Amino acid sequence: MPDPVNVTPRNTAMAVASGALKAQQSRMRIIAENIANAQSTANVAGGEPYRRQTPIFQARNVNGATGVVLAEVRPDQSPFRVEYDPSHPAANAEGYVQRPNVDTLIEAMDMREAQRAYEANLNVIETARNMEARTLDIIKK
């Protein structure tokens, strides 16, 4: 028989929210890495620059509720941007330089979405703690 302490709604809510916090934290780290490398080029002439990374989330069961976890990080296979700059050290034989497939506007919007999701999960944890405190106050009376 399962331990009733481990399957309470509060513990389930806290476990789901804390898993989501970790996932969103990882997502924000990946987005920050993408933004930091948005203007990088290859180290060698004709080489490939930084390739945008995308987080892949997976559902997981937490005490009968559905949570989320970062399953893996995959490179975005969309094409690189290409600019004509024959004087650039990373230019290929035709004079084109490949730039990362990172759009900083998209990354900024993704970052804001991740921040909002992170804040929402913090609110879930705070609400669960407040409900527990109020329950204990009722029991004490």
**What does the buried/exposed string (b/e) look like for 4-32 if buried means 16 or more CB atoms within 10 Å of the residue's CB?**
eeeeeeebbbbbbbbbbbbbbebbbebbe
Q: Which residue range is the domain that position 20 belongs to?
A: 9-40+52-76+102-140
pLDDT digits (tens, 9 = 90+) for 11-70: 788 889 999 999 999 999 999 999 999 999 988 888 899 999 999 999 998 888 888 999
pLDDT digits (tens, 9 = 90+) for 115-136: 999 999 999 999 988 888 888 8
Residue with tokens 């934290």: 25
| Model confidence, pTM | 0.82
Confirm whether 116 is domain-assigned: yes
pLDDT of residue 7: 46
Give a yes or no: residue 86 inside a domain: no
Tell me which amino acid residue 109 is: M
Count structural domains, the chain.
1
State whether residue 65 is helix, strand or coil.
strand
